[in-house]
Each structure stands twice: as C-alpha cells, then as structure tokens.
Structure 1
C-alpha cells in the first residue's frame, strides 16, 4: 500500500525545504522537493549601483555569504571586461577556499554525519578499543583513549540529565544505523573536535575578508584592503603568517580525520553506493583564477553527460560562450509567472522574478525555486560533479585523493569499490571529502603565490572600474561548495537593469521543469529505501548528501510559530 510521507521542514540544512515522497513496498516511487520561501533579492537590486550589488547579494544567506559577494563582483567585472590585479585574485581565492573547507567540514560532521552515526550506541563502546581502531587508520592527535573516554563521559552526562543536548532528535536505534559502538564513538569525538577545528577556517576568512560572515574586503575591480609590510591598518605580512599556521591545522584535520572518517563510514555503508544515483549529467565551472582576466584556472570545470568521463566538455574562461549560452530557467512548477507564458524558459539575462503563489499542487506549482537547465536538461551540481570533472580533466591531486579514499572504502567494505560507486548518496560524501583535500592543498598554494608576488615588489590589489553609456551584460560564476553559482547582470547607464542569481541549490532542489523532468533531489530519491515511513531517515540521508542551502534559493519572512519538524505518513 502506498504511503505519502511529508518532511516539512527538512532540518540540519540552511533554509526551509519540504520533501514529499510516495513510498510503496519500502521504496520511494515518486518525490517532490519544494522550497518554502521566496527569495526576491533580484527585485531589490533593480536601479541600484552595480558596485553595491555584492554587499546586498551576500546577505542572501548567513552561510553562503562570501560566495555571493565574489560571484557578484565577477558579474560586474565581466560586463565591463575589467581585468583585476593577480594579488586580488590570490586573496579572493584564499577567502573562497577557506570558506569551502569550512563548509565541507561543517556539512559532514554537523549537518549529515548523524544520519549514519548512532550517538547513543557510543555509550557502549570500549574507549581503548576505539583508540586502537582510530590510531590504526591515521595519525590524528585526537585519537587517544583518554580523549574517547572524555567524550563518552560527556555523553553519559547528557543522558543522565534526560537530554542529549546538541544530539537531541536523532533517529537513534534506527535499523539503518549499523556502525559498531567503537566507530560511533570515534565519529562522535570527531564531531566535537570539528567544532573547534572549523574555527580556523572562519578566522582565515575574517582576516582576509576583514569580517566573517559577510566579508568587506572585496570590490568591483579587486579587493579594498591594500597589502603592506609596514602598516598595521592593512593586510600585513604578520597577518599572512598567522593564517598560514591556521591553514596547516586545517590540513592536518582534513587529511588525517575527515578524509579517513568518510572512507570508514563509506566502507561500512557500502550498500548505499546503490542508492541516490539520479541525474548523472554533471555541470562544474572552473575556478581559482590565476590571471587577472579569468582565462587560467587552478581547478578546471566542464560538463559530463551520463556519468561518462570521456564525454567531458571543458568550460575554459569567464567569457566561455558554451556555458553562457546554455543556461535557462523554467517556472512551470514554480510559484512565478513569465510574461510569455509559464511553459517557456528564459535565459538569466532575460530572467523575470514575478511571484504567483498557488499553494502546493502535486501536478501544478509547488515550489519557490525555479528549474534551471543546461541546454534543455536538468543537471546535478556540487562536489560529485566537481570531482568527476577534475578526474576527466586529468587533475592529478584529485586522482590521488580519490584513489586513497576508494582504497580505504574497499579495505573496510572487504570488496573492491571503484569510481562508479561515487554516483550515489554515500559517494557524494566521499567526493566532498576528496574535493576538500584538493582545496586545502590549493589554499596553501595560493598563499605561496601571493607571498612570491609580493616578494617581486607587486602590491597592487585594485583597478578602478568605469561604466560606459549604453547596455552591458555580464555573468560571474563560482564553483561554490554546493556547486555552480552564477550571477547574471544587465547594466544600463551605470544602473542595474536586471539581475538573476542561479544558485547550486536551485539546480539540485529544482521542481520539475517545463518538460516535467525531475530535478536532482527528486530524481535521486527514486527507489530510495524507507524502512519506517514514520522515521524516514533514509530520505534524509540522500537529501542531506547534497548539503541543501534553501536560503540561497528562496526567501521570505514568516512571523508565525511552527514546530521544528513535522513528519506525516498518510
């Protein structure tokens, strides 16, 4: 008998996402992903100075702040064809990479690990045995028996008071939770350690960006804070040396803790390589520009069709016509209207943001998200498409870390697990960890590039923009932690005429498009197991593997009080 399960809102994400699934025979047969708030920031920007857009758009989200600032200034610079100093690129790159490392650590440990880790089970663990297991896998300093005993005692204190504190509301004891008590204790300890480690990434963003969240050290034309060796009021060598130490602490955790934990959990849950495949058309943009024009990048991007690496088509520059011409948005199942009719698609330069709320309609409009397509097809964006495109482009560090991760998964699973396993729910976590290791290496490299360039006597960080008469159009894209982010701007006589944000979660959480093709969330949930419709942990596993950020995709204010989470099985 078919049951309708509604999770509203999905928690441990940013923003408000509703997911509906029809479950029959213990499997998902149909799914709907619905953004429950309207964004509307594009309408706020009309008529404003383009140089102010970055400060407004980064308020789209309290998590994905810096990514919108960078995409926005890149859009204006692209419209003006403005070259920026390489020092500004290096500083922006370090801000973006530190932000990404922070995002990946927080996503795995604090937003999704508890879908796989049974915290209550850790109370039964032997701390000495847990230490032996952990020390056999890595040299991470937090893997001592004393540390694990301390964490276990803290958990006992929570339970003794009748509460689990930050671990409240988990599906503890769920039949889909199968880790041993010792591995659960290890993962719980690393969850708490990650709370401390992630601060170093935030500090790097704060020093380089002059503030975190919502950085201030950015401007159309470069960055606002000058470089100097003899003035404390600007970005000094002393501050740069300080952030290098924080980078090394992050590197230690990412490579000796995060990458290992994902490999171990992936190996224990190797059966989850069978679920969550969904859309395997993968889109990724190049990033970490190495020149002032955006034609050379440390991390390549491109498009892959049907998971086939040999189909890789590169995206090569900020002016790449293949990318620019390929993006459009549909609203057939979205709470918007287009002047030309709701069955058409619009390129972002022609985009419209006219709300039309109709309530939730299974076969009609049911989401505040639009439906982006690339040459008429829905895409999956994010860490998995990023890693696949890097592998297809022959990026050596990605191949190194992916091989190491899959070798560990194979060792724990007791069977060979190859690249094909990454096209899955658990595979998205592995890809995110692999990408994080690549990004921490590149973070250190960008620091070296900046110091080397300063050593040559180059301290330039800003080129002043000028706005000609007439109309200019530009796109700024960034490979954000959750995937392809692009801001599209039309400028007329120095003012914003149109502005559209096509964000990663809009790609992945999109409702069905004008051809009724499902977005990535909806497609990936089909055939997902659900052991207990009243406790749909397995649905959350697949949705959380994307790290949803609905605040980036939709916005509105709700002054009513609602329960934290509601699950209905009808």
Structure 2
C-alpha cells in the first residue's frame, strides 16, 4: 500500500490537503484536512450584533452574500424582528444570483478541466464540433467558423509556451474520454462563461452597491430603497430593466449552454454515476420562502433529512440535533474533546498539536484538521446541491421533481445515479436552471410592488438596543451554493457574547468524529480507482464535485511558509 498526498488541492477556494491510502490501484482510505485557521468567530465577540453581517461576510472573499444573509437572519431571529416582503425579495434575488453564477463558475472553471482535455481540443474538426453543438442546443454561437476561431485562440496560447490557466492540467491522462470535438465545445464555453459570469453578477452591484462584499444588508431589512420620494432610491424602472436583461442572460446561458454541456459530457463518463457516493445521508435547511420565512412549507428548496438513500422518508430537521466534534480537529473544548457541542454554545479555541513542518504525513490517528466535524443526531451528513435535490425530490417539490425526471429521462437513468460524483454535477446544473428561472418571478414581484406603491424595505422595530432583552440567542440559516450554512449568535449586554458559523464545507470536508465516522469527502473517495498516482485526476474529480470552499471553514498558515509538492507518494 502507498500513501498519496495532494496538497494543496487546487481549483478551490482556500487550502485543502487530501491524503489517500492506495491499495490495488484504488483508494482504500482517505483523510481530509483543512490547513488554515483565521477565527472570524473570535473577531465577532464583543461587537454590536447589528454589524455582525459586515464582519461575517469577510469569512470568505467569494461567499460574501451568503454569510451576510445568514448573519442578519441570526440576529433577526434572536431579536424577533420580521422583515418586509421587499427585503425578502431583494435578498432572494442577490442570493439566487450568487447561486447561478457560482454553479456556472464551478462547472466550467473549477471542475470542467477534470473531464475536459484542453490539449485534445487542438485535434478537433471544428465542423464536427459545430454539428454536435447544433444537435444539442439552439444557441446562436455554434458555427464551424466560431469553433475554428476558439481553436486558434487555444493554439496561440499553447504555442506561446505560457499556458496560464491551462498550465497545471494532466493533459493526455488516460481517464480523459471525451472526443476532441466535445473537448473543443467545452473549451469554447469555458471561455464564454468567463465573460458571462462577469457581467451577470452586476446584479450584486445594482442591489448591493458593490461585489464582492455588498453593503446593502441591514438587520430588519435592506438599505436598497424603492421609494421614489427618496433622493437616492436604488431601485427604479431603469434598474428593473437592467435586472431583467441580466436575468434573461442567465436563463439563456443555463438553458442553452450549461445544461446541454452537462448532458453532452456525462454519457462519456457513465462509470462516474457509480463512483464517489459517500455517506448516503443528506441534509438541507431549506430556503427561499414564497411568503413566510418561518414556514418551511413555502420553501423552494425543502427542509429535511434523507438517511441511507431512502427517498420514501424525509425526516424533519431539528436545529437542536446539530453538534460539532473536535476529536480530530486542532481545537480544544472546555470539559474535554470527546463530546460534541451544539453551535449555540460552541467554542473556537485553537490548539495546534500536529507535526512540525516539514512533514510527510498527517498524524491521522490523532488530530489532523483545522475543520471541526459537524454531525446531525450523531450522523455525518452531505450538504450541497445534491442534498437539496435529493431532499426536494423525496419531498415531491414540483420544480425539482420535473427537472430531475427530465434529466434522468435524457440520460436513461434512475434516481440512484444521483448518489455519485456525476450526480453532484447533475444536481448542481438542475439547481442552476431552477434558480435562473425563479429569479424572473422575484423580479416581477419587486416590479409590481414598486408600481403599486409598496416600497417598504426596512422594519425599524427593535433597532434601538434599549428595546432588546438582556440576553438572546438566534439561529440564521441559508442554503448557500455549496450547502447548508448556519450562523449562531448569543447576545448579552447589547453585544455579541458568542458567535459560531457552521459552513457547508465544514459539513463535507470535516474529519472523523469521536466514533471514527468519516466525513463526506473521506467517505466519497473510498474505492476510487487511481490509474496514475503521480497524476491523481480521479481523486480530484470527486473532491471537486463538492465545490470545496476551505476559506469559509478555516484559515492558518505555516509559520515557515512551507510549500508542498503536488502530489507526493510514499
């Protein structure tokens, strides 16, 4: 047996190390380690709860909106502050836009190169690529001339010797199975996605003032004014028209490029519908209410838990059932590290006890990660697009049911294929399509409210700290692009006494718990074939399918600034 190390895992946000035990050309065991710590929760202690969202969105430079939203919800929950309908709609538009953009970026720029051989695209016949493109979509850029131009652009990059973003690929790896013409199609859309997402996310600038780190969130609502009597009203008919254009562009890109590309690529990798499954337990807090935020029955993405792949039963989610373990994490808990703590009473007390650099391997029998190990009722859970789609499908949510059945029909497959590496990719695409179309409805609501004089966007109730209780606790949730995000706040004496964030990547990338149960990454890698240990493309496929964001989870750096070799095998 050999131990393989990938550190850092690239094409993700943050710093992740994967160690995998290889036996007979397959992964027999794996360990996931977050290698950085920052401690934003400590930074929030003692601050005014009304400004928590400003700091919380700095947890990550990419996932800014999602942390702002979970943070204001936590404080609003603690202080019992309802928000106006317009505030909910604006928040949903911003979060929904984040989801669509994030899913497109993930598929094309973070994950596609695990399946697409860029070098092979140089061998393609542009006329054949054009024929393929026109057979799967009515997208207008599909001529042989167009694809020939893309091919020439890629060739110029290769001939220059400065491969830039294509420099670190495992080109020519035997696990690449796409014909040259499909590779050229995907490379063309890779480049188009770069341009499209840059323009589309202007939604955040229009509704939030800037991107990243928008400035329009507010405990009690939003600062995004609709009132035409105010001198600096942010939302007006001109802005609505611009938002309409951006939303239409999202629907076109997802419907005519993203979904067809997924359906074009997947049949060449059918083995991956049975690889990378992992836990089989799925958690969704649910989100995007059509009316009352306190009524999960109105959520676009249902709230629930599915256990052991059993689609016949959706279990209720009780936030009290969540706990975090640090048995294998570089933290310490008051009272000992063997028992988990609910986030409402959680602690962020870093204590590094790992090997001193330079080192070859982690001490995996002890503590080996800066991520904690979240559990729900003692069970490890997968969160994210696949979890939401599984819970939504099992709950009978009409949009999710129709979208999933449509994709499965085209793939000639059953719902069991969802439990896989490719299943996560399909679920993310399905979710992007549902959200791209739902954005239009929210925008229409906002426009109608503006037309009818319904312009309230902020509720000033309990804005004055003198009206607050002596102490209060709140939970703020959000179904972020990468999964179930929770913020917990404890307020005492008009300031934050304790703050804890349990992010999607902590759920998925966390280490073993007290009982030795694996996290989602670790479980999903079991049985993965590795054709070439020096180029572990297969491992990256499954890890990337979760869309890791370690920046949200942890932050620390070796004092010696050590750089690791990628990969190494011992």
For normalisation by structure 2, the TM-score amounts to 0.95
Q: Secondary structure at the match of 1:398?
A: helix
Aligned equivalent of 2:391, options 386, 389, 392: 389
Query: In the alignment, which residue of structure 2 is the partner of 1:436?
Result: 432
User: Aligned residue for 1:167?
Assistant: 166
Instruction: Report if aligned partners of 1:148, 1:185 keep a CA contact under 8 Å in 2.
Output: yes
Partner of residue 418 from structure 2, selected from 401, 410, 422: 422
CA contact (8 A) 2:35 2:557 kept: no
Task: Answer whether contact 1:10 1:19 (CA < 8 A) is retained.
Answer: yes
Q: 2:380 aligns with which of 378, 383, 403?
A: 378
- The secondary structure found in structure 2 opposite 1:485 is strand
Matched, 1:567 2:567: yes
Taking the aligned partners of 1:224 and 1:377, their CA distance within structure 2 comes to 40
Query: How far apart are 1:294 and its partner, in Å?
Result: 3.1
Asked if 1:329 is matched to 2:329, the reply is: no
Secondary structure at the residue paired with 1:269? helix
What secondary structure does 2:221 align onto? coil
- Distance in 2, matches of 1:292 and 1:240, equals 24
Correspondence for 1:354 among 349, 357, 381: 349
Q: Does 1:48 align with 2:47?
A: yes
**What is the alpha-carbon distance in structure 2 between the residues aligned to residue 562 and residue 119 of structure 1?**
31
- Match among 274, 298, 307 for residue 309 of structure 2: 307
CA distance in 1, matches of 2:393, 2:372: 30
Note the C-alpha offset of 1:558: 5.5
Cα distance in 1, alignment partners of residues 478 and 429 from structure 2: 19
The equivalent residue for 1:448 is 444
DSSP-derived class of the 2:218 partner: coil
Partners of 1:425 and 1:545 within 8 A in 2: yes
Contact 2:200 2:249 in 1 (8 A): no
Cα shift at 1:297? 2.5
**Which 5+ residue runs of structure 1 have no aligned equivalent?**
315-321, 411-415
Aligned to 1:413: none
Partners of 2:239 and 2:535 in 1: how far apart? 49
Asked if residue 119 in structure 1 is aligned to residue 118 in structure 2, the reply is yes
Q: Over residues 471-528 of structure 1, what are the superposed CA-to-partner deviations in whole Å (9 max), with x where a residue is unaligned?
A: 1111000000000000000111211011000000000000001111000000000001
- Supply the distance in 2 between the matched residues of 1:548 and 1:152 (Cα, whole angstroms): 31
Counting only pairs closer than 5 Å after superposition, residues 249-260 of structure 1 correspond to structure 2 as 249-260=249-260
Aligned length: 556
Helix, strand or coil for the counterpart of 2:170? coil
Cα pair 2:325 2:339 within 8 Å, conserved: yes
Name the structure 2 match of 1:317.
none
Query: By how many angstroms is 1:113 displaced?
Result: 0.2
Deviation at 1:557, TM superposition (A): 5.0
TM-superposed CA distance for 1:290, in Å, is 3.0
**In the alignment, which residue of structure 1 is the partner of 2:339?**
344
Q: Take 2:561 and 2:391, find their aligned partners in 1: how far apart are those partners?
A: 44
Which residue number corresponds to residue 526 of structure 2? 526
SS in 1 for 2:344: helix
Q: Which residue of 2 aligns with 1:319?
A: none
Q: TM-score, normalised by structure 1?
A: 0.95
Q: Which residue of 1 aligns with 2:358?
A: none
Match in the other structure for 1:181: 180
Q: How does 1:269-280 map to 2 (within 5 A)?
A: 269-280=269-280
Aligned equivalents of 1:437 and 1:88: distance in 2?
24
The within-5 A match list for 1:17-32 is 17-32=16-31
Distance, in Å, in 2 between the alignment partners of 1:77 and 1:274 is: 43
Residues 238-288 of structure 1: CA deviation (Å, up to 9, x unaligned): 112101111101110101110111112111101111110111110011211
Separation (CA, whole Å) in 1 of partners of 2:139 and 2:318: 42
Query: Is the CA contact 2:408–2:414 (under 8 Å) kept in the aligned structure 1?
Result: yes
Q: Within 1, Cα distance between the matches of 2:11 and 2:450?
A: 42
Distance 2:74 2:38 in 1: 19
- Equivalent residues in 2 for 1:1-12 (5 A)? 2-12=1-11
C-alpha distance in 2 between matches for 1:281 and 1:171? 32
Please list every run of 5 or more consecutive structure 2 residues that lacks an aligned counterpart in the other structure: 355-361
Query: Does the Cα contact within 8 Å between 2:147 and 2:184 map onto a contact in 1?
Result: yes
Distance 1:151 1:564, change over 3 A: farther
Aligned position for 2:368:
366
What is the CA deviation profile of residues 97-134 of structure 1, one whole-angstrom value per residue up to 9, with x for unaligned ones? 00100100000000000000000000000001100011
Cα deviation for residue 229 of structure 1 reads 3.9
Do the aligned residues in 2 keep the contact of 1:53 with 1:72 (CA within 8 Å)? yes
Match of 1:141 in 2: 140
**Distance in 2 between residues matched to 1:239 and 1:510, nearest whole Å:** 42
Deviation string 1:336-363 (CA, Å, 9 cap, x unpaired) is 0001101011001110111110113110
Distance 1:290 1:494, change over 3 A: farther
Equivalent pair of 1:259/1:433 in contact (CA under 8 Å)? yes
Q: Any idea what the Cα deviations from partners look like across 1:348-392, whole Å, max 9, x if unmatched?
A: 111011111011311000000000000111100001011111111
Give runs of aligned pairs for residues 485-496 of structure 1, distance below 5 A.
Answer: 485-496=485-496
Where in structure 2 are the equivalents of 1:264-303 lying within 5 Å? 264-291=264-291, 293-295=293-295, 296-303=298-305
Contact preservation (8 Å) 1:259, 1:405: no
Native 8 Å contact 2:100 2:432 kept in 1: yes
Distance 1:459 1:560 in 2: 55
User: Does the CA-based 8 Å contact 2:226-2:233 persist in structure 1?
Assistant: no
Matches within 5 A, 1:217-228: 217-228=216-227
1:404 matches 2:413: no
Q: Please give the secondary structure, in 2, of the residue aligned with 1:170.
A: coil
* SS class of match (1:303): strand
Q: Does the 8 Å CA contact 1:12/1:111 hold for their aligned counterparts?
A: yes
Return the offset for 1:465: 4.3
Where does residue 132 of structure 1 map in the other structure?
131
Correspondence 1:517 to 2:513: no
1-side partners of 2:558 and 2:567: how far apart? 20
Report the CA distance between 1:565 and its aligned residue. 5.5
Q: Tell me the equivalent position of 2:359.
A: none
Conserved in 2, the CA contact under 8 Å of 1:277 and 1:425? yes
1:436-486 CA deviation, whole Å, 9 max, x = no partner? 101111111111121222233210000124242321111000000000000
Judge conservation of contact 1:86–1:290 (CA < 8 Å) in 2: no
Asked if 1:480 corresponds to 2:476, the answer is: no
CA distance in 1, matches of 2:178, 2:4: 26
Higher mean displacement: 16-25 or 201-210: 201-210
| Structure 1 residues 564 and 444, CA gap change in structure 2 (3 angstroms) | farther
